[in-house]
Structure 1
């Protein structure tokens, strides 16, 4: 039985993803999914997408705003564009999206069903039920505006959908996983993300089974008008009653409102492990990665975090901000996106996956070893502070093709020169 596995507060952010980043997110997202499927299979990719901490880290490593609600929209969009041309090969299909695209999901699922021979009508019903549960059965103050449905050729699926609370400028993301799902109305969620904002009416909780049955009985026996009258009489007592909750404390990923990345947002020993694996081990222990033209130590550092997204255990994603240190962020937080590094990362991953399909596992194996080396090194290595790391990125940003929504990153201003000393005055 799936159950709620965590929560997070996601600040609402407006704006659009620029095309130069959108295209790269599409390519990197697709090749990372290919690598995960190659190593672990389609079901494992669905489990990752159903994990809110991994999902946030996945978006951060692709250069999106590491803490914002925009990651949900941009990741679903990138996967839909990147995986659709590969759907015949990988057997995975991405449907839905934001706004009007979400309402097309049932039709898309029916079309996929006809094409690949699965029950598209049942999937369309599942899509509608998932949306209805999170908009009606769970009344938590968030209005749904995004619905992404990812399904495989053997009818396994994951849903990622998001609601917003405009007054609070916050979003809540819901994750559903078909694996182990027995009921749409009795604890069906794989995860619900969002900050606690008072009492929530959650009729999908297994403790609400009596309430669900009682509501149907009341409707049959009394009718809607009598129910409204009875509720009005009970409301004062209900408002003052204290409710006892047996709900256990769940892991709570809090995405802060501040846009800058701070040391408090990162497990620094993990970051030092990523950096050390690239600097100390990359050039000597992983020559396969350096055979791709143009790849240097900075790209290997990004690849150490990319490799962790592919191979990391769930506990490794408690600090999604760390993954923004791979390719920066579109709003210059923690630093502008280094396009040269980003493109080299895509090139390495595409080369590794293409060769692995032909039975040559050297490059994908090197990435897996790089991830393992980072974990070993983090036990004892130390390194620079986050402030020093970010300052170094800004210093070389113009050399690495640094870019943000504000445009290309210019060279840093030269240090101010001291004024020349005034000549001494001559006397008489």
Structure 2
């Protein structure tokens, strides 16, 4: 199940006493899942934005808070590094995003996962969510989850500074094409989506355009910019009965000094495939939009504007488990949280002793709840 959840920016911090309970609850839930399904089962669950949001609700965070991503990932990171559970969380919010490379080397020593592979996955995923997809959100959270089998999931979050809303991207493929297992947030005005399956020919065109050389690319960009000032774009859609609305990326791209320097980095090691393009130094949103503009206006190869936002059931009912820190749907209830924590702890201990009675009971409870809400 994949889905979307609205994530408005919430001010304030989780109180220390509440954060301690949240960490205990998170640790117990994670241990149950790893015991039942292994670390890969946990990562599969985290790849679903609705499961992620429900998990956030169950431990007491607000059902719709942008801060839920930071809190959940911070707790999971602390738990993963303090215990031997078969997975590790790298990166995080703000400056912690820059720790992925160093932490991937530590993860290689601990789990045997290739640090190069982990860092490559991190870079491709970051490019997918913030360069190949351009939807108006600036990245401020980036975390990679790895197991001994390798990097398996990136969770990234961006903020729209105008609307003060957040979007969370769940990326489970080391690929530019359709890399998202889910995207949570409001529907956005997507400027371009080069990750879309229908953008495959456009991505190939980007590589071909770069192969024509820097001076040729700049001339094509000038021609594209000039064409956008023409009275009509009908010459690009000859044969159609009606003109389609102009695309969001039909805006001139100014070849500033920074833009030219970015091109110089690209041409220091030009890509020969879209896989190499995803890792090319110098490629940023502005260069990508210039390539999309040239591909469409000059070569009639458009880039998709489809929003990859996924839709499903609202996870709000999970917020009734123990309440939320801001009192939605009712104030956080530490007594209920402690009872849940005690139950989970007993279930884990009994499962270690060979008795899976409580784990089976929990599975039956999940099945019953599924029937009730279907």
**For this structure pair, what is the TM-score category when the shorter chain's length is used for normalisation?**
0.7 to 0.9
Query: Aligned match of 2:328 in 330, 333, 347?
Result: 333
Query: Aligned match of 1:26 in 19, 23, 27?
Result: 23
Query: Scaled by the length of structure 1, what TM-score is found?
Result: 0.66
Gaps spanning 5+ residues in structure 1: where? Answer: 254-317, 380-428
Gaps spanning 5+ residues in structure 2: where? Answer: 235-242, 248-301
Rounded Cα–Cα distance in structure 2 between residues aligned with 1:58 and 1:220: 47
Instruction: Determine the structure 1 residue equivalent to 2:103.
Output: 108
Q: CA deviation at 1:374?
A: 4.2
Instruction: Determine the structure 1 residue equivalent to 2:353.
Output: 358
**Residues 5 and 229 (structure 1), Cα distance of their counterparts in 2 relative to 1, 3 Å cut:** farther
Query: Aligned match of 1:58 in 55, 60, 67?
Result: 55
SS in 2 for 1:327: coil
Rounded Cα–Cα distance in structure 1 between residues aligned with 2:365 and 2:352: 20
What does residue range 246-395 of structure 1 map to in structure 2 within 5 Å? 251-252=310-311, 318-375=313-370
Instruction: Determine the structure 1 residue equivalent to 2:147.
Output: 152
**8 Å CA contact retained: 1:142, 1:164:** yes
Q: CA deviation at 1:18?
A: 1.4
What does residue range 119-134 of structure 1 map to in structure 2 within 5 Å? 119-134=114-129
Aligned length: 306
Rounded Cα–Cα distance in structure 2 between residues aligned with 1:378 and 1:202: 34
**Residues 151 and 32 (structure 1), Cα distance of their counterparts in 2 relative to 1, 3 Å cut:** same
Rounded Cα–Cα distance in structure 2 between residues aligned with 1:54 and 1:373: 17
**Residues 60 and 238 (structure 1), Cα distance of their counterparts in 2 relative to 1, 3 Å cut:** farther
**Residues 374 and 241 (structure 1), Cα distance of their counterparts in 2 relative to 1, 3 Å cut:** closer
Rounded Cα–Cα distance in structure 2 between residues aligned with 1:328 and 1:163: 26
Query: Aligned match of 2:210 in 219, 234, 245?
Result: 219
Instruction: Determine the structure 2 residue equivalent to 1:72.
Output: 69
Query: Which has the larger Rg?
Result: 1
Q: CA deviation at 1:129?
A: 1.8
1:204 matched to 2:263: no
**8 Å CA contact retained: 1:219, 1:227:** no
Rounded Cα–Cα distance in structure 2 between residues aligned with 1:248 and 1:107: 33
**8 Å CA contact retained: 1:113, 1:121:** no
**8 Å CA contact retained: 2:8, 2:64:** yes
**8 Å CA contact retained: 1:106, 1:125:** no
Q: CA deviation at 1:355?
A: 1.5
